[in-house]
Amino acid sequence: MTRIKAIGAAALAGTLAMATSAFASDTPDLRGTWSGSHTVAALPNERSDGAPRFNESEWVMEIREQQDNVFWGTSKWSRTSSDQWNEGQMTGTISLDSSGNIAMVESLPGQDREVNGLIDATYEDGKIYADFRSLRSGITYSTVLERVN
């Protein structure tokens, strides 16, 4: 009986090793710098006389570390007409179902661990298709991020 248990344990270990190896090969390596331009839609504020706001902007995301299907890095954005960049941190996870779905959260610049935005994304054909929504400022946009390096 002990020999049957040992064979069963070895078979289970082999199956788990193969599953882990398959998972690793299905998970894309997102480390690097990604960039995309887009039109931002924002809720009215005290300076907009009650009208929604629209502007052209650029988003640069640098994924610095990735472990299995989770990652973290920096996120910065700027209006196209400005030289001023706002930078925060972001974390994300790649879905385990091989769909390419990605979920991310982004911090508010200068404030540790305060979530500014939620991002739903999909990794497909070497690009990240992302939908951003801010929890604080009412900003939304969709963009296609392409790897810069």
**CATH number, domain 30-147:** 2.40.128.120
- CA triplet 13, 17, 23: central angle to 5 degrees? 145
Beta strands in the chain (DSSP E): 32-42, 53-67, 70-79, 86-94, 101-107, 115-124, 127-134, 139-147
**pLDDT at residue 23, as a whole number:** 43
What the block records as the tokens of 99 is 């769909």
| pLDDT in single tens digits along all 149 residues of the chain | 555 544 444 444 454 444 444 445 689 999 999 999 999 998 888 777 888 889 999 999 999 999 999 999 999 999 998 899 989 999 999 999 999 999 999 997 766 667 889 999 999 999 999 999 998 888 999 999 999 98
Cα 144 from Cα 149, distance rounded (Å): 15
Scanning the structure block, which residue is given the tokens 């924002």?
42
For the chain, the structural domain boundaries read 30-147
